[in-house]
Chain A
């Protein structure tokens, strides 16, 4: 184990649909083999917990909730290896943005707002 891990820059695309999105870069301690999910979790734990991000199963690739764009390419954050030079992580571009890295991937029948709208209560 190396005693002094180097930091790598992780740029996250942030914001909500109504406003201009912006980039924010965080220095994350690099560990050989770590995933993009590891990096985002590290940032939420240690620097800024307000980043919106969707995941459940932590690195097992079972829940399939953590799909994001890593350097523009659609990947599961839990299986995408972090580059030792750093990465840019953004929301899926083919889904409706909710905030930061979270897009609307919930099936419409399971979405409360959609359910209410169909009932005429939205």
Chain B
């Protein structure tokens, strides 16, 4: 067993976690930044292709209030206005700070340049060329966090549980992947920055580490979740032909810069049928495009691989090359000549609007427990604008780190080994169980595949009460089945032990999403019910989830929080 102590423990080292560590360190705290993958390599931020929304107003007049109006409109009435306002106002500070750190925002005539994205009223989405926003941002933050003397970075430590003593977060329990040694970390404050839940879906756009860890850890620690029925489906994920070395959401930047056209298998543009705009305009929001493509599929107008066509064939090679330079060659290496052929696209799980319920200081209802980034619910309501996820990682990360440091600094460390013993015993039991493992070698892989199919088919873009209820039954059975599945008998980099813990989080998170989706008997934003097709003004409320003493999830409703007074 390894024991470490710090002021602030940050769980997850993507954009939000790295920013939290930087902010906690510069506010005087000792920090441990731990990630089950490698620091600044996993998570979602590094996958970002392009847009980061901030009302810089360099090229044309803009204000964070306008950005807020757009965000609230897209959120279909469910945004926590205080969090949305923080996001829009402080996005400007974070983007400028990253500019000082030389991240390399694209410029025109010396000004940071922004593109227009659907749902925004001003071109305000900044980026790093070409399709390099995520890698550039991740590298920049890795450099900054490495310069923070009081921040210790640990790659390859998976955190399983937050340790809570007498209702207060006092640290965490996890294990070192390299040699399977249990690790306890005493911390005055814990920041959950472990990202979203996209891995729960068969078709998804994120890193494998996005399996709902933050939500499940928060629930088990006694914190609350909200808006869990709202995973966002990115409408035009790449489907075919097979494309390697590129993020499946890479067609979005093409549409920002070039428009592009969507056709069904009959060669018809179709978005107008669902309230969107056709013909080279990229104005329709994500929820409507996902809905439209799925409906075209249901009507039998899908492509061979079950999507629709995205076409840039009406553009000249010069236009394509000016916009995307070397990316055009990368596509050619994948057998995709955009002058000659269309590609097939379809919705793909991309982001989660819901998440951990926090106040403006990113504090949960558990003292000492904070959340940051995609793990946080509320800022984006029922539908997120493109471009709002990366600033959310920066803004909420910075705030979580800063407020956690203020809380933790100077507070006596009060590690209570007894409070951790249950988690440590459970981990040791899982490690010990391996030696008598005689089950199927791919049992955990099979369970992962089943959960991903189940969520995609029954808790996906178009939902019905029957599908959701049958998914809920199966998820609950799988939670029971997981208890008797043993990981493999390996001590070094035992991915099956990680699969087991990942599934434990994923199943609890999946149950949260499904239960919340059953309860919302209307269609709104990313939550589309075929049995309740209309938005019900009477359901303009947030749904709150927490774990009951017996381990079951209970829900209630909250009126939507207004702006901070």
Residues of A within 8 A of B (CB): 1, 16, 31-35, 44-65, 76, 78-79, 81, 98-100, 102, 104-107, 109-113, 115-116
Tell me which of B37, B153, B245 contacts A60 (CB under 8 A). B245
Check A49–B183 contact: CB distance below 8 A: no
Bound: A104/B39 CA distance, A: 14
User: B558: CB under 8 A from chain A?
Assistant: no
Question: For residue B488, which residue of chain A has the nearest CB?
Answer: A50
Instruction: Please name 15 further chain A to chain B contacts, defined as beta carbons within 8 Å, in addition to the given A51-B495, A112-B183, sorted by A numbering.
Output: A32-B241, A33-B241, A45-B448, A45-B449, A47-B441, A50-B496, A56-B207, A56-B208, A56-B209, A57-B207, A59-B246, A65-B37, A65-B38, A99-B492, A111-B156
User: B163: CB under 8 A from chain A?
Assistant: no
Question: For residue A35, which residue of chain B has the nearest CB?
Answer: B244
Check B490–A32 contact: CB distance below 8 A: no
Chain B nearest CB, measured from A120 CB (Å): 14
Tell me which of B41, B146, B443 contacts A65 (CB under 8 A). B41
Check B242–A56 contact: CB distance below 8 A: no
Check B42–A49 contact: CB distance below 8 A: no
Question: For residue A64, which residue of chain B has the nearest CB?
Answer: B41
Check B495–A62 contact: CB distance below 8 A: no
Check B445–A46 contact: CB distance below 8 A: yes
Check B495–A52 contact: CB distance below 8 A: yes
Bound: A35/B333 CA distance, A: 13
Residues of B within 8 A of A (CB): 2, 37-39, 41-43, 46-47, 134-135, 146, 152-157, 176, 178-179, 183, 206-209, 241-248, 304-305, 334-335, 441-446, 448-449, 488, 490, 492-496, 499
Which residues does chain A contribute within 8 Å of B134, judged by CB atoms? Answer: 62
User: Considering residues A33, A78, A100, A112, which has the most beta carbons from chain B within 10 angstroms of its beta carbon?
Assistant: A112
Bound: A104/B2 CA distance, A: 20
Which residues does chain B contribute within 8 Å of A46, judged by CB atoms? Answer: 442, 445-446, 449
Question: For residue B496, which residue of chain A has the nearest CB?
Answer: A49
Counting residue pairs across A and B whose Cβ atoms lie within 8 Å, the total is: 147
Bound: A116/B243 CA distance, A: 42
Bound: A73/B136 CA distance, A: 27
Check A16–B492 contact: CB distance below 8 A: yes
Tell me which of B244, B304, B442 contacts A59 (CB under 8 A). B244
Check A57–B47 contact: CB distance below 8 A: yes
Which residues does chain A contribute within 8 Å of B135, judged by CB atoms? Answer: 62
Tell me which of B157, B442, B490 contacts A44 (CB under 8 A). B442
Tell me which of A34, A62, A104 contacts B242 (CB under 8 A). A34
Chain A nearest CB, measured from B496 CB (Å): 5
Check A44–B445 contact: CB distance below 8 A: yes
Which residues does chain B contribute within 8 Å of A78, judged by CB atoms? Answer: 244-245
Check B441–A63 contact: CB distance below 8 A: no
Which residues does chain A contribute within 8 Å of B492, judged by CB atoms? Answer: 16, 52, 98-99, 102
Which residues does chain A contribute within 8 Å of B37, judged by CB atoms? Answer: 56, 63, 65
Bound: A35/B445 CA distance, A: 19
Tell me which of A49, A54, A61 contacts B246 (CB under 8 A). A61
Bound: A57/B488 CA distance, A: 24
Which residues does chain A contribute within 8 Å of B46, judged by CB atoms? Answer: 57, 62-63
Question: For residue A102, which residue of chain B has the nearest CB?
Answer: B493
Check B442–A110 contact: CB distance below 8 A: no
Check A49–B442 contact: CB distance below 8 A: yes
Which residues does chain B contribute within 8 Å of A99, judged by CB atoms? Answer: 490, 492-493
Which residues does chain A contribute within 8 Å of B499, judged by CB atoms? Answer: 49
Tell me which of A58, A61, A110 contacts B38 (CB under 8 A). A110
